[in-house]
A and B are shown apart, each in its own frame.
Chain A
Amino acid sequence: MSEASIQPARVLPAEADGGEASDFIALLKPRVMSLVVFSGLVGLALAPGPIHPVLGFVAVLCIAIGAGASGSINMWYDADIDAIMSRTQKRPIPAGKVSPEAALAFGCILSAGSVALMGLALNWLAAGLLAFTILFYIGIYTMWLKRRTTQNIVIGGAAGAFPPMIGWAAVTGDIALGGVVLFLIIFFWTPPHFWALALYRSGDYARAGVPMLPVIAGRDETRKQILIYSLIVAPLGVAPVFAGIAGIGYGIFAGLLGAGFVALAAKLYRSDSDKDAKRLFGFSILYLFLLLAGLLANWAIGLI
């Protein structure tokens, strides 16, 4: 199947009848939001300079709302393919709980509100980065790349990598090496994370017409790419030590985690089993969480 032959699915979602508050919370993709909030918090903490706790809270709140808002607009645009994929069929729009128009309006209002609040409370560089992230996720990833190329999550992954840089900019008002290193870690972590998921969900993606790498290039190429990216992300995990935002203890911890990541990717490369793909997917979430927690712990110890 060539990339050009992929056509977006055309299944209209069920009729919506208004929706409850919980349905609107589901539109914000709370699980994705939690990782975004955590990475934004790490950027905020590691940035040099003080920030008032209230303003720090508001910065994280704005990052969370902005991420959730872009998730809501993403669900509006992807309602047709969400209705086909088993993983996403129960989302509020395909389940008929919220109308697509309400989801779009909800996302747009929250996007504008989070950017405005970030600009007024913190600074306009952080607000600009937040606005760019939302527009990148919606315009570049969701509307342009997702249904057109196997590189969708490679380039689109940048949207998920911006929050620590936004957190950093909220404190310092500029973009520095530390923020860029955090961006790069998440940017290179994203492809192996999503490709591991796509390996055991490739049928879903194929039915929905989403050209994920396993659907177009096959499992062998995907496993090779996962291994290559894991070999990049593992040393990048140690890079905060060289950027001066973490100590040697963190470096050893990140090195061990990276070795685990590469070992699981190599195992998947050799075995080609869904079980190993699921294991790598699960570990990739734990990897990023522990890496960020390690940075936060390193920062907290430095305060004592």
Chain B
Amino acid sequence: MPLPKPANFKETMSRDSDLHRRKRRRNLALLAALVCLMGVFYLVTVVRIQAGLGAAG
């Protein structure tokens, strides 16, 4: 016997459901945080390399 569908089945399955919107916002925030982290690592690497070259020179 197939399981009964929940009352908000149609709304939940839609890509524009409240759940999807919230998850999408959260995923985009996580993406932004990861991009910022990459930027921070890049800048730190450049600064440390320059400092190392300066000390060696």
Contact = CB atoms under 8 A, between A and B. Distances in A.
Do A and B pair up? The answer is yes
Interface of A: 18-21, 24, 52, 54-55, 58, 61, 113, 117, 120-121
A92 to B, nearest CB: 13
Contacts of A19: 26
A21 B25 contact: yes
Contacts, number: 32
Nearest to B26: A21
A117 B47 contact: no
Interface residues of B, number: 15
Nearest to B32: A21
A24 B26 CA distance: 9
25 contacts: A18-B19, A18-B23, A18-B26, A19-B26, A20-B22, A20-B26, A21-B26, A21-B29, A24-B26, A24-B29, A52-B51, A54-B43, A54-B44, A54-B47, A55-B44, A55-B47, A58-B43, A58-B44, A61-B40, A117-B40, A117-B41, A117-B44, A120-B44, A121-B44, A121-B48
Interface string B14-36: 00000100110110011000000
A17 to B, nearest CB: 8
Contacts of B22: 18, 20
A59 to B, nearest CB: 11
Contacts of A24: 26, 29
A121 B51 CA distance: 12
Given A21-B26, A120-B44, 13 more contacts: A18-B19, A19-B26, A20-B25, A20-B26, A21-B25, A21-B29, A21-B30, A24-B29, A54-B47, A55-B44, A58-B40, A58-B44, A117-B44
Contacts of B23: 18
Contacts of A18: 19, 22-23, 26
Contacts of B47: 52, 54-55
A240 to B, nearest CB: 30
Nearest to B43: A54
Contacts of A113: 37
Contacts of A58: 40, 43-44
Contacts of A52: 47, 51
A117 B29 CA distance: 20
A70 B37 CA distance: 19
A52 B51 CA distance: 9
Nearest to A19: B26
B18 to A, nearest CB: 10
Contacts of B51: 52
A61 B22 CA distance: 27
B27 to A, nearest CB: 9
Contacts of B37: 113
Nearest to A53: B47
Interface in B38-57: 40-41, 43-44, 47-48, 51
A27 to B, nearest CB: 13
A20 B23 CA distance: 7
A58 B44 CA distance: 8
A24 B29 CA distance: 10
Contacts of A55: 44, 47
A111 to B, nearest CB: 15
